Amino acid sequence: MTTRQQVLVLYLATSALDSPVVGWSVYDGTGSTSPTTGDSDEPPYKSGVDALRDGWRLFQAAQLIPPYPGSEYDVSFLKHEFFFEKLVEGSADMEVVDAG
């Protein structure tokens, strides 16, 4: 058996883990699925806490950086980004696609 990583990136409405998901990405190191950006109208979870309850492990949260004076309403990147992972056991012959 081989351990592979699945990664879930959730962008939340605020810095609180129980706030609503406003954007997301899923990456599957097992090769069993190939999710792409925009392949679903519904987020995989309603909040970061829901992902934790489903077994995802939080390993990175966005730094809380206050806006510079005068830029409070500028549109930019989604700043409340949280990275989650799951480690999945699978057979050693799982398909791995070479990105090179």
- Examine the pLDDT at 99 and tell me if it is beyond 70: no
Percent of the chain past pLDDT 70, that is, above it, reads: 77
- Examine the pLDDT at 97 and tell me if it is beyond 50: no
Render pLDDT for 42-80 as a digit per residue (tens, 0 to 9): 999 999 999 999 999 998 887 777 767 877 677 666 778
Listing DSSP states for 55-81 in one string gives: TPEEEEE----PPPTT-TT---S---E
- Examine the pLDDT at 13 and tell me if it is beyond 70: yes
Mean pLDDT of the chain: 82
Contacts (Cβ under 8 Å, ≥6 apart) of 8: 24, 25, 26, 27, 44, 51, 56, 83, 84, 85, 86
| Model confidence, pTM | 0.73
Contacts (Cβ under 8 Å, ≥6 apart) of 19: 12, 13, 47, 48, 80
